[in-house]
Amino acid sequence: MSGNVQLLNDTLAAAKSEGRAALIAYLPAGFPTVTGGIEAVKAALDGGADVVEVGLPHSDPVLDGPVIQTADDIALRGGVRIADVMRTVREAHQATGKPILVMTYWNPIDRYGVERFTAELAEAGGAGCILPDLPVQESALWREHADKHGLATVFVVAPSSKDARLAEITAAGSGFVYAASLMGVTGTRESVGAQAEDLVRRTRATTDTPVCVGLGVSNAAQAAEVARFADGVIVGSAFVKRMLDASDDAAGLEGVRALAADLAKGVRGQA
């Protein structure tokens, strides 16, 4: 069965045709429970997100800040497994028809098996994978199987990336390019600065693939700011924080839905 890379491409193109950036939400699988995590993904999509990244919880994340680390710890203590990540992708996609990616570090895939992981992700209706710690020069095996199964391979670029390196990364990737807006880990910031705009400009000089910005966006005003120059706005920690701070699961889901609606206005310039 083929994955949904084309659905991802079409979704990003549709947002562009509407003169706006796409809204991409991130939520970890298994948080607060597997079923609760699925409902959270659906709430983000129902609220106005165009795409969701489902995080595969990891015990030693290098990109995730304290908010997402807290959620990952809850999921891991709850016994979340890769099968639960696939279930999250499957049920959220079936319920909404929208593109769902997995964001994961490389070690779990390497241990699970590249062929098995890509086949199961495609079968679940996944659109692709974001791989923040897989070096492009070591990615041939992954890309071979991802291409075979119709999955996007999204790499991360950072402000420290030199132009030649950007060209190497964007030539190998598909779906979109994840532009980390600043050096550091995920988390909400007071501002998402000029570094991000410069990185998008330099990345676009190397590729026609959409460039989406993450790390730091937490409200509609920031989403509107980033949407001026990026093809997509990625928001993670702010969604997770809504759930962590909620009085109960129902309030958490409502918080996710409300934040998605607010951010959706931001990417449309209505903030």
- Is-catalytic flag, 163? no
| Alpha-carbon span 118 to 149, nearest angstrom | 7
Give the number of other Cβ atoms within 10 Å of residue 22's Cβ. Answer: 27
- Is-catalytic flag, 53? yes
Query: Longest C-alpha distance within the chain, in Å?
Result: 48
Task: Choose the catalytic residue: 39, 50, 64, 120.
Answer: 64
Let me know: does 2 contact 251? Beta carbons within 8 Å: no
| Alpha-carbon span 44 to 261, nearest angstrom | 8
Task: Choose the catalytic residue: 10, 39, 46, 53.
Answer: 53
Residue 194, Cβ density class (10 Å: 0-12 exposed, 13-18 middle, ≥19 buried): exposed
| Alpha-carbon span 247 to 243, nearest angstrom | 9
Give the number of other Cβ atoms within 10 Å of residue 57's Cβ. Answer: 27
Q: Which residues are catalytic?
A: 53, 64
